[in-house]
Amino acid sequence: MITDSLKIGTRGSKLALWQAEWVKTALQKRNPSLIIELEIIKTKGDKILDVPLAGVGGKGLFVKEIEDSLLNGRVDLAVHSMKDMPADIPEGLCIGMVPERETPGDVLISIKGNAFSDLKPGAVIGTSSLRRAAQLLHARPDIVIHPLRGNLDTRLRKLDSGDEGLDAIVLAAAGVKRLGLSERITEYLNHSVMLPAVGQGALCIEIRKDDPKVQNIIAPLDNHETKTAVFGERALLNRLEGSCQVPIAAFGKIEKDLFTLEGLVAEVDGKKVIRDSLSGPKHTAEKIGIDLAERLLSKGADKILKNLKSV
């Protein structure tokens, strides 16, 4: 039996704390004598709330300060939403474990209970995600995108208050479900309309590479299928040199021994969406991610990404 203590680095939002507490409880179930504390760390993305994410600049807006604390030994592991993880991991750190994934897609929550296709022409939808905005506009060029920052509770409150004239908002299904708010969901958006962010629905337990003790403690939480799929998605993101500020989406699934990855790159206004999929043996998931990225680039994604970087 392990008799030791651990400190988990986490953001302070209700959802982030739920995720960190879930990891804490899961670890203590396996090691009842393990003492675990949560260390709340404010990130750049938490501090700047009056600017759309794409306008803040830089990568790792919701993880960098936590990663710094991991590198300097202030915390022993970090719990992130996988979709917040940039393609590059700092030297000395690694993705240690990936627990089983929650529902990976996005949901629509509308003020009058209308599905996406039934929203009135000119309906105002709140999101600060370029990925979501681009796909929504591609499916319905008539809608209006309203920039919407803040944690999940804040965004729901802004919808309900009516102060910003929102008809609906789009959120990650996983966060809504984890906070016990499933009854608020109007519609689970089909992947044909809204492909999720890379790693969406999965948690990332990040650790120091040279820390076998922590590696051994967290090992039982690893879900091989989720990790394989997420690493395939992240290989695509890495090849595209993307971040959460770029309209890139990907979702990988495993059926028996077959890994299928669907990915897209979109123009911000949704007028052009380049989308493709690729399948192969699951042990080649990361190669499939790279190969699919190359296909997207060859179809014109390179021009879209180049234009975004020059803005």
Q: Judging by DSSP bridges, how do beta strands 124-126 and 144-146 pair with one another? A: parallel
Is 196 among the domain residues?
no
pLDDT of residue 3: 46
CA-CA-CA-CA torsion sign (166, 179, 15, 270): negative
Of residues 159, 142, 141, the one with CA closest to residue 150: 159
C-beta of residue 119 within 8 angstroms of C-beta of residue 169: no
Are residues 69 and 42 both part of a single domain?
yes
Distance CA 159, CA 168 (A): 7
Are residues 311 and 230 both part of a single domain?
yes
Distance CA 113, CA 184 (A): 9
Range of the domain at 90: 1-99+203-221
pTM: predicted TM-score of the whole model, two decimal places: 0.92
Instruction: List the CATH number of the domain containing 14.
Output: 3.40.190.10
Is 8 among the domain residues?
yes
Rg (CA), the chain: 19
Which helix (H) or strand (E) is 171 found in, with range?
Answer: strand 168-172
Residues 6+ apart with CB under 8 A from 209: 92, 93, 94
Instruction: List the CATH number of the domain containing 294.
Output: 3.30.160.40
Q: Which residues are catalytic?
A: 84
Are residues 74 and 207 both part of a single domain?
yes
Distance CA 106, CA 99 (A): 19
Written as six digits, the tokens of 251 are 């979702």
pLDDT of residue 1: 38
Are residues 171 and 233 both part of a single domain?
no
Residues 6+ apart with CB under 8 A from 279: 258, 259, 260, 261, 288
Give the mean pLDDT per block of 10 residues along the chain (311 residues).
Answer: 79 95 96 95 69 53 90 96 90 96 98 97 95 97 93 93 96 96 97 97 96 94 97 96 79 97 96 98 98 97 88 63
pLDDT of residue 15: 95
Are residues 40 and 92 both part of a single domain?
yes
Helices and strands counted in the chain (H then E): 11, 13
